[in-house]
Protein backbone atom coordinates (compact mmCIF):
# COMPACT_ATOMS: atom_id res chain seq x y z
CA UNK A 1 0.00 0.00 0.00
CA UNK A 2 1.27 3.47 -0.85
CA UNK A 3 0.17 6.87 0.37
CA UNK A 4 -0.40 9.74 -2.05
CA UNK A 5 -1.45 13.35 -1.51
CA UNK A 6 -4.32 14.99 -3.38
CA UNK A 7 -3.18 18.00 -5.40
CA UNK A 8 -5.00 20.95 -6.95
CA UNK A 9 -4.22 21.60 -10.63
CA UNK A 10 -6.27 24.42 -12.09
CA UNK A 11 -9.93 23.61 -11.47
CA UNK A 12 -9.29 19.91 -10.83
CA UNK A 13 -8.39 17.85 -7.81
CA UNK A 14 -5.76 15.29 -8.84
CA UNK A 15 -4.72 12.06 -7.14
CA UNK A 16 -1.33 10.89 -8.46
CA UNK A 17 -0.96 7.19 -9.25
CA UNK A 18 2.50 5.82 -8.43
CA UNK A 19 4.55 4.43 -11.35
CA UNK A 20 4.78 1.11 -9.52
CA UNK A 21 1.09 0.56 -10.40
CA UNK A 22 2.09 0.56 -14.10
CA UNK A 23 -0.93 2.57 -15.26
CA UNK A 24 -0.29 3.86 -18.77
CA UNK A 25 -0.71 7.61 -19.36
CA UNK A 26 -3.98 8.28 -21.14
CA UNK A 27 -5.78 5.33 -19.54
CA UNK A 28 -9.40 6.28 -18.88
CA UNK A 29 -11.32 5.31 -15.76
CA UNK A 30 -14.83 5.60 -14.42
CA UNK A 31 -14.71 6.77 -10.81
CA UNK A 32 -17.19 5.86 -8.11
CA UNK A 33 -17.34 7.41 -4.65
CA UNK A 34 -18.67 5.09 -1.95
CA UNK A 35 -20.75 6.18 1.02
CA UNK A 36 -17.65 5.90 3.22
CA UNK A 37 -15.61 8.16 0.92
CA UNK A 38 -13.79 5.28 -0.79
CA UNK A 39 -12.89 6.07 -4.41
CA UNK A 40 -12.95 3.20 -6.88
CA UNK A 41 -11.35 3.54 -10.33
CA UNK A 42 -12.67 1.22 -13.03
CA UNK A 43 -10.82 1.18 -16.38
CA UNK A 44 -13.07 1.85 -19.35
CA UNK A 45 -12.78 -0.47 -22.30
CA UNK A 46 -10.35 1.01 -24.77
CA UNK A 47 -10.04 0.45 -28.48
CA UNK A 48 -6.84 -1.31 -29.49
CA UNK A 49 -4.15 1.01 -30.86
CA UNK A 50 -3.37 -1.19 -33.88
CA UNK A 51 -5.18 -3.67 -36.09
CA UNK A 52 -2.72 -6.33 -34.90
CA UNK A 53 -3.74 -5.77 -31.27
CA UNK A 54 -7.41 -5.82 -32.25
CA UNK A 55 -7.11 -9.29 -33.81
CA UNK A 56 -4.27 -10.78 -31.72
CA UNK A 57 -6.43 -13.60 -30.29
CA UNK A 58 -8.52 -14.24 -33.39
CA UNK A 59 -7.73 -17.35 -35.45
CA UNK A 60 -10.68 -17.54 -37.85
CA UNK A 61 -11.00 -16.71 -41.52
CA UNK A 62 -11.78 -13.14 -42.50
CA UNK A 63 -14.79 -12.65 -44.72
CA UNK A 64 -15.19 -9.28 -46.43
CA UNK A 65 -18.70 -7.84 -45.93
CA UNK A 66 -20.57 -7.44 -49.23
CA UNK A 67 -20.85 -3.66 -48.85
CA UNK A 68 -17.04 -3.34 -48.68
CA UNK A 69 -16.17 -5.59 -51.64
CA UNK A 70 -16.47 -2.63 -54.01
CA UNK A 71 -13.56 -0.92 -52.24
CA UNK A 72 -11.20 -3.69 -53.33
CA UNK A 73 -11.86 -2.78 -56.97
CA UNK A 74 -10.68 0.82 -56.50
Per-residue pLDDT at 74 = 65
Whether the pTM exceeds 0.75: the reply is no
Averaged over successive runs of 10 residues, the pLDDT of the chain (74 residues) comes to: 92 93 90 96 84 83 78 69
Three-class SS of residue 18? coil
15 vs 33: CA distance, rounded Å:
14
Alpha carbon distance, N-terminus to C-terminus of the chain = 58
Helix, strand, coil shares, percent, the chain, to 5: 20, 20, 60
Per-residue pLDDT at 15 = 93
Amino acid sequence: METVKVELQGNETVVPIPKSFQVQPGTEFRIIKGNDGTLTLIPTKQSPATIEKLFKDWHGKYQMPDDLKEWEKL
